[in-house]
Structure 1
Amino acid sequence: MTTTPGGTDTSSDPRTHPALYDLIFGHVYASATGAVVDHGIPDLLADGPLTADELAARSGTQAGPLRRVMRLLAERGLFREGEGGAFALTGQGELLRSDVPGSQRAAVLWATHEMFRRSAEGLGDTLRTGRPGFDAAFGTPFFEYLAAAPEKARVFDDAITSATSDGVNEEVVRSYPFPGTGTVVDVAGGQGGLLRETLARHPGLTGVLFDRPGTVTDHLLDGEELKGRWRTEGGDVFTSVPEGGDLYLLKNILHNWSDEDCLRILGSIRRAMTPGSRLLVIDVVLPGDGSPHPAVGLDTVMLMLMEGRERTAAEFEDLLTRSGFRLNRVVPTAALPSVVEAEAV
């Protein structure tokens, strides 16, 4: 029981509910995390605990404010404060370092960047107009803005790379039964991380990496193991994609777009395919019954930034059916995305 000094029971008072305060002050925790990551504090703690004075001297910050912010984040489980005021990383805090597998440093910097923050501030207007908060804040659609701002595009690209790391690709390739032979076309495949993992695990496959011309030039497919088994091709996914593939991959693409744009993308892919060839849509699949899911928050992020959305299996099936596909099955993975297998009809 929690009581006031006068003896009143406050245990059911919503004003003292921790979850409510987490929601109200969530932006404070995010900003504090972004600040310590931006100043490289987690990397400074890689070799062991340091006091706020030591951290401040090495990071060019002020010890007093730093100590207070570190204390707040220690309460959130990112750091641990020991005797003598020395701070250490927790297991969760280790992910804020720049040099560890699965590092979330880039994701933190993106989620606390003005592009993200100002888009979130516009959610009230989004509820009234349906227009993404980003468009209202910056006066242009998200991807058009990034195309004209390379330094900000890099912040976003680094975050996406962090969120869709090799670990995710490994889980996708491990979870889905790829064929032993054939040609795999990775549509809008970026630098080819997924295609590289697919070809490495299945030596009988060949591959085509397809994306914008400026993107595929920075591919990750070089290496003796894959020599002679791949090629790159530049183009526009809304217009056409390479023909002749046995299996087409589309990872983390459809959730960026409205239903109308998804139909354009899927239609472009279907025109390149022959009946019976397969398409793997690798994306988050939300539960259809409203049960909790980690990507519900991501769906709100999409609402903030662009016309995209996360979808249920039924919503994917509707898009696929309207584009000339038959949904065969949804294969879950140990990572956030699932594999939606469809067949050209």
Structure 2
Amino acid sequence: MDERAAAFELTRMVNGYRVSQAISVAATLGIADHIKDGKRSAADLASLTDTHPRALYRLLRALAAVGIFHEAEDGQFSLTPLGGALRSDAEFSAAPWAAFVGRPYYRQAWSELLYSIQTGKNAFRHAHGKGVWEYRAEHPEESAIFDRAMAANSRGVAAAILAAYDFSSFPVIMDVGGGQGALLAEVLAATPGSRGILFDQPHVVAPAASVLAAKGVADRCEIVGGDFFAELPVAADALLLKWILHDWDDETNVAILQNCRQAIRAGGKLLVFEAVLEPPNQGANAKFFDLNMLVAPDGQERTADEFKSLLAKGGFEVTEIIQAGPRISVVEARPV
């Protein structure tokens, strides 16, 4: 690549935030839902979304230029296969995540990335004067948007995990920090002989009953509110930790792992679902999510060796690591 081409490509990457924010706005407005059954003009969509017709047209034509929508010669817009992932009813909808990443408070934290690189400290706390979990507890509307994003991401991740790992040998499966139960619902649906326990903070698991019922597994799953930093009040044959350890530093994680160690029945397994960082010059997706952990919750993604070291401190031995997708692996461990 010559210098001119390199400069053009680098500039395209630098301007990527514009595309991200435009997609976020389209997701927030529900544009894909409004055109999933056919074409609509920008004027019609503006009326449906209470937006400015000309400004909305400018947004839609820009997104059409990157393949999210298609603009016909008569000025009407329709969905492309790529844009179909913004439908709220898509099996693996990206709309909740897209809506979340455009939130001003979240963008503001990312604008302080330089601070984190200079100091090694958390950008979110620097930007807002408090940690991300405390902030969301004080802003329930933002917490709800975040929870929807996590639930949507869990559906895609669940499919990858179920294709890579067999849960049928576990009579009781507990999802620790399992949110509203999206992952556990999929696991139980695939393992009809198992029972489940969904464990998370009481306000987080409050809507979980409807999620479990929608998958037909509510009668096989107990919902328990609590704090995994205190104790896990019930025991299980398999404990699931999806995107939990990457939120915290090693010292905090050891406390979580030790509580998990006490809640695993004899012969049970701990199953950690996280990105496992690839060798140098590979795995950009997970490595940029690692920057996200520095910026927002003040955690980190880890290499295989780092996982082995961390889990050993918590009383576990890693027995297998299975790559399930571009940003998810199954780290299987047994108590020692």
Q: Mapping of 1:72-111 within 5 angstroms?
A: 72-111=62-101
Contact 2:160 2:324 in 1 (8 A): yes
Q: Does structure 1 residue 208 correspond to structure 2 residue 197? A: yes
Question: Partner letter of residue 131 of structure 2?
Answer: P
Structure showing greater radius of gyration is 1
Alignment match, 1:184: 173
- In structure 1, the partner of 2:224 is 233
Aligned residues: 334
Same amino acid, percent of matched pairs: 35
Structure 2 unaligned blocks of 5 or more? none
Structure 2 CA distance for aligned equivalents of residues 302 and 232 of structure 1: 28
Q: Secondary structure at the match of 1:77?
A: coil
What TM-score comes out, normalization by structure 1 length? 0.88
CA shift for structure 1 position 52: 2.8
Partner of 2:28: 38
Q: Deviations over 1:282-310 (max 9, x none)?
A: 11112134413422221111111021111
User: Does the CA contact (< 8 Å) of 1:286 and 1:293 recur in 2?
Assistant: no
Residues 186 and 215, structure 2, Cα contact 8 Å, conserved in 1:
no
Evaluate the alpha carbon distance shift between residue 88 and residue 11 of structure 1 in structure 2; reply closer, same or farther with a 3 A threshold: farther
| Whole-angstrom CA distance in 2 between matches of 1:275 and 1:334 | 30
In structure 2, distance between residues paired with 1:225 and 1:84: 45
Q: Which residue of structure 2 aligns with residue 282 of structure 1?
A: 273
Mapped contact 1:288–1:313 kept (Cα < 8 A): no
Encode CA deviations 1:284-343: one digit per residue, 9 max, x unaligned: 112134413422221111111021111111111110111111100112224631110001
Verify: 1:260 aligned to 2:251, yes or no: yes
Partner SS, residue 236 of structure 2: coil
Aligned equivalent of 1:19, options 9, 29, 32: 9
Which deviates more from structure 2 when the two are superposed, residues 174-183 or residues 264-273? Answer: 174-183
Moved more, 310-319 or 232-241: 232-241
- Give the CA RMSD over aligned residues: 2.4
Q: Decide whether aligned partners of structure 1 residues 17 and 89 sit closer, same or farther in structure 2, where only a CA change above 3 A counts.
A: farther
Secondary structure at the aligned position of 1:27 is classed as helix
* Residue 47 to residue 203, structure 1, CA distance change in 2 (3 Å): closer
C-alpha change, 1:342 and 1:148, in structure 2 (3 Å) is same
Structure 1 unaligned spans of 5+: 1-9
1:67 aligns with 57
Q: Secondary structure at the match of 1:287?
A: coil
Q: Note closer, same or farther for the CA distance 1:223–1:83 as it changes in structure 2 (3 Å cut).
A: closer
TM, length-normalised to structure 2: 0.90
Deviation track 1:96-116 (CA, whole Å, cap 9, x = no partner) reads 222322222211111111122
CA distance in 2, matches of 1:80, 1:312: 41
Cα displacement (A) at 1:164:
1.4
Contact residue 171 and residue 335 of structure 1 kept, 8 A: no
C-alpha distance in 1 between matches for 2:77 and 2:110: 31
Q: 1:293 to 1:42 in 2, by over 3 A?
A: same
**CA distance in structure 1 between the aligned counterparts of 2:288 and 2:136, rounded to whole angstroms:** 22
Partner of 2:43: 53
User: Which residue does 1:4 correspond to in 2?
Assistant: none
1:7 counterpart residue number = none
1:3-14 residue pairs with structure 2 within 5 A? 12-13=3-4
Give how far 1:149 is off: 1.2
Is the CA contact (8 Å cut-off) linking 2:27 and 2:96 kept in structure 1?
Answer: no
- Which one has a larger percent helix, Structure 1 or Structure 2? 2
Counterparts in 2 of 1:22 and 1:224: CA distance versus 1, 3 Å: closer
Work out the CA distance in 2 between the residues paired with 1:102 and 1:271: 35
